[in-house]
Amino acid sequence: MRKSTKRKKVQPKPSNNPPTEKESPSTRINPLENDSQDKKPQDNRNSTSSWIETHLLQNSQAKSDLVLSDIHIHSTSPQTTFILPTSRISINHGLATTLPLVGLQIWAGALVMSEYMIWKQHLFSGKGVLEVGAGTGLVSLVAGTRDVGAKKVIATDIHVGPDEDQEHTSAVGCKKGGSSGVLSLLKENAISNEETLGNGTVHVRELDLIDDTCPLFQWPIQRTACKSIDGKPHDFQFTKEDMDWFHDECSIIIGADIIYVDFVTFHLVKRLPVLLLKTQPQNSTSKKRKVESSLWESRVLYLALEKRVQFCKNECRVAIPAWEFLVRTIDAMNLDLEGRIQDDGEDMDGAFPDVRICMDAVDLQGMPQLFDYERNKELEIHRLYLSFP
């Protein structure tokens, strides 16, 4: 084994115009049904993600500027009901939030992802599904209905609430002076739609992409329960049973409209080599495999996003900053994988298989539109997976 040497890690070039707030999608939606029923907040925890605190400190406007999804422009109710072919999902959500709390709203990416799963039901039926950045939980809940038929779904997001932003608490559909964090709202929506779900169940867990201690991101593979990021036990921690399910049964990961902040995008791509790597089920009666790569297979990440176009003043050109940063980061990660370099610049573990991150655009032509919104050409779904050279 050759001696480990310190080498310079390839890093993607940051966007020249990092977004200061989530760019509003150009789509519009008239919710099929709006209900006036308000839900009482169930949780009162502060943010456990340091990047949010850093963002608020660096951007003085973050606490005063509200971001509104175009999906909610024509809505005055904090609850929307979505009609599916054989069922319906009712979602409690925010109407306007600051950037760290955009997960309390519904975005166009969640709608196109939901429609895709129903259209291509055979890809998801009977499968184990993990959602990253689930927000209100619409996509995870649709996956758990009989219209899609996922066997089990774990919906994840960071543990953040509007406690630090009491001035705008009422703007996110919460009682003034109260709080409804992202995970609390996600769990509330999962519980209120239990009767609609098919054989699958939807579980809510905390998952922060910047948490280096999370067993989901560890190599060699770990099956231990996750510790809460703030060190305090709560209902959203990954259990030992969850970890066994992820490694043995989860084959699909989904994410909708989570590519909008370069910092988060970088950490998502950073996790992909381990997150997408899955061991193949072993048959004790089968012959010993000669090819090491045959011991592994890849999970598939379906990523719904909107290519939001901006004019880049510094470069005097029309750009798609979030998308371009995603592509550059994947390219940089593949160079590291090819050079067998870890994130810290050290040599990669020799037991980790040779992999490459691949990304293909999904053809949405002919996909039925179930919801009343403008599905523009910038709304796309991409399929990410590992290849074994």
146-168 confidence digits (pLDDT tens): 999 999 999 999 988 754 343 33
| Cα–Cα distances in angstroms (integers) from residue 46 to residues 163, 233, 261, in the given order | 6, 14, 21
In whole numbers, what is the pLDDT of the chain averaged over residues? 80
CA distance 204 to 114: 18
What pLDDT is recorded for position 369? 96
What pLDDT is recorded for position 199? 61
- What's the pLDDT tens digit per position in 370-389? 998 889 999 999 999 999 98
Number of helices followed by number of strands (H, E) in the chain:
8, 14
What pLDDT is recorded for position 317? 82
Stretch 261-272: mean pLDDT, rounded?
95
- What's the pLDDT tens digit per position in 267-321? 999 999 999 999 887 654 444 444 455 689 999 999 999 999 888 778 788 889 9
What pLDDT is recorded for position 326? 98
Higher-confidence residue of 266 and 6: namely 266
Exposure of 140 in the CB half-sphere (CA atoms within 13 A): 31
Question: Would you say the pTM of this structure is higher than 0.75?
Answer: yes
- What's the pLDDT tens digit per position in 90-103? 999 998 888 888 99
**Long-range pairs of 197-201 with CB within 8 A, sequence gap ≥ 24:** 197/141, 197/144, 197/145, 198/144, 198/145, 198/146, 198/149, 199/146, 199/149, 199/151, 200/143, 200/144, 200/149, 200/150, 200/151, 200/152, 200/153, 201/144, 201/152, 201/153
- Confidence class for position 207, pLDDT limits 50, 70, 90: very high
What pLDDT is recorded for position 230? 60
Percent over 90 (pLDDT), the chain: 53
Residue 357, helix vs strand vs coil: strand
CA distance 15 to 320: 10
Are 159 and 226 spatial neighbours (Cβ–Cβ below 8 Å)? no
The DSSP bridge pattern shows strands 277-279 and 310-312 to be unpaired
What pLDDT is recorded for position 180? 62
- What's the pLDDT tens digit per position in 34-90? 443 443 334 433 333 343 344 334 443 444 578 888 888 777 889 999 999 999 999
What pLDDT is recorded for position 13? 56
Percent over 70 (pLDDT), the chain: 72
Both tokens assigned to 249: 């049964």
What pLDDT is recorded for position 95? 87
What pLDDT is recorded for position 160? 81
What pLDDT is recorded for position 186? 95
